[in-house]
Structure 1
């Protein structure tokens, strides 16, 4: 096969990266999710298992954010994620999500990548 032809296989990684890029908000400032209270995710986001999350509880919040990042559409990301909380918890959260999601978010929003502490 020659590079750039229609016969070129598209990798699973490329498909996943494109899928997650399409869901991104235009900017982190668009994230207007709650900072307290209980969030009940709709079935199209949390279709199996737990669907309600207490935002004030770190473990619960991490579960909420992990599910929304993986399964949510753009409007879900905007409605359920908060910019400040996402940035604050990104160093831990980035280890709980897939590499594809992490790469897309850090590539699109450099402020997230800057939160990572490099250990010596």
Structure 2
């Protein structure tokens, strides 16, 4: 993935708001922010399902138990047993 994304203030109200998607650390950071602070329209607008699934093993370690569990409960493909 390439390009940059600038998140709106309701997602990233302090610190970094613009993310270079070619930089894996910045991409994961942006996904973390959206997963933690987003609404439905943010999830559909800023997250790519293929990238989310492929990066989930790393992302899930960056999220709290509640957020991680909510996503894994809703999307079976994200559950650790689904990848095994």
What TM-score comes out, normalization by structure 2 length?
0.92
Larger RCO (alpha carbons 8 Å, 6+ apart): 1
- 1:67 is aligned, of 15, 33, 38, to 33
| Structure ranking higher in helix proportion | 2
Give the CA deviation at 1:112. 0.8
What TM-score comes out, normalization by structure 1 length?
0.66
How many corresponding residue pairs?
82
Give the CA deviation at 1:36. 2.3
Give the CA deviation at 1:55. 1.2
- Cα distance between partner residues in 1 of 2:41 and 2:13: 17
- 1:103 is aligned, of 51, 69, 81, to 69
- Cα distance between partner residues in 2 of 1:37 and 1:107: 31
Q: Larger radius of gyration, structure 1 or 2?
A: 1
